[in-house]
Structure 1
């Protein structure tokens, strides 16, 4: 029921979001190397805090500029499990994303942006498997293809490192 134009816009936005995430990881590594030049855990936490504050401000500006903030109460009331569950889902999602951010930026700090992205991609197949196990969702073809592509990307990364090590 989606028009071809909206489908194309969705596809372009998905590819742009993926490229933006990769760019963010690379810019984080560049910032560590060229701007901060410090090798401390405090630097990692500062980087996460700065990125989170900027992202939060941009999202809040977008939320209020678009007028979507008016529908939050309606959305909360329409949530099947209730208002408290709605808020808890948002809070725990925010907490888990912060934990993920600490891990991702920590990997950039210790290894590289590419390795952080590869490890993030390797985690992608875990989510559908856990959803099938705990929430009894069906394993669709799209989920299976996404899992295969994520595993393929990780195996390609490991194999390339194997070839590079063999050459040296």
Structure 2
């Protein structure tokens, strides 16, 4: 990895660490309905920044996909309980709202920024280089979060949380380590999709995760499958099918334009 790309990936990592802090702080002070609605706006931010940073071209199918997926995620916020923490002041509530909105916008900025660094990195991007990019980005994001935890003395609380964990102290650490590994695979997939396709597609696939997660919770945790979850899943599937249908249609048009037209050989009318 050349220095320009290393610097770019480290800056993206620091921004990602800041985004993690904003999400953690903001969502802890908001009810489920409000936070779900704000997070649903993330795809719209991704689409907007993709247009500004990497000149993403939109078709009617991609615009339809962004709209349907955003609405599908927002539908999950309907009829949820207003679980605003007791004793929380209006100032803290407003601050949580603004920080969650800033987190959604910032993550929508990160995805096109990664795509921009690929294009401006002054070196050929390969699969191995994408993995290096992910490693450097995650390293700086971890350093950023670690400094914040040290300043706030969060490491001293881990032992107490593990002892109070209902499933047992050992399982607490297993879940913590397992979650970290799964999130690393997730972020590797995110930067990989950007490498293979675009930041817009990466944002679309992330948005699909929300209704899918709700459905999996019904299967594995016996949660109620409410009408909102069914509508959200339907809209999300419709959105992603619309996107891929548009991409296939665009690729077929490009292939037809690139296929040379074979001219029939002219036959001499006077063979003599």
Please give the range of the TM-score, normalised by the shorter of the 2 chains: 0.7 to 0.9
How much does 1:161 deviate?
A: 4.1
TM-score scaled by structure 1?
0.84
| 1:46 matched residue in structure 2 | 132
1:86 aligned to 148, 156, 172, which one? 172
Q: Is the 8 A contact 1:76 1:82 kept in 2?
A: yes
Q: Is the 8 A contact 1:121 1:154 kept in 2?
A: no
1:91, 1:82 → 2: CA distance? Answer: 15
Larger radius of gyration: 2
Matched ranges for 1:9-48 at <5 A: 9-48=95-134
2:134, 2:234 → 1: CA distance? Answer: 29
Shift in CA distance, 150/100, structure 1 to aligned 2, threshold 3 Å: farther
> 2:223 matched to 1:144?
no
Q: Which runs of 5+ in 2 are unaligned?
A: 1-85, 255-272
| 1:154 matched residue in structure 2 | 239
Structure 1 stretches of 4+ with a deviation exceeding 6 A read none
Q: Is the 8 A contact 2:211 2:232 kept in 1?
A: yes
Q: Is the 8 A contact 1:44 1:109 kept in 2?
A: yes
Q: Is the 8 A contact 1:122 1:151 kept in 2?
A: yes
1:153, 1:121 → 2: CA distance? Answer: 13
- The superposition leaves residues 105-154 of structure 1 with CA deviations (integer Å, 9 ceiling, x where unpaired) of 1110011111111111112211111111101234568x739936972893
Shift in CA distance, 110/155, structure 1 to aligned 2, threshold 3 Å: closer
Q: Which runs of 5+ in 1 are unaligned?
A: none
1:125, 1:82 → 2: CA distance? Answer: 30
1:118 aligned to 201, 204, 213, which one? 204
TM-score scaled by structure 2?
0.54
Q: Is the 8 A contact 2:162 2:169 kept in 1?
A: yes
- Secondary structure in 1 matching 2:125: coil
Moved more, 151-160 or 33-42: 151-160
Aligned residues: 166
Report the RMSD for the aligned CA atoms in angstroms.
Answer: 3.0
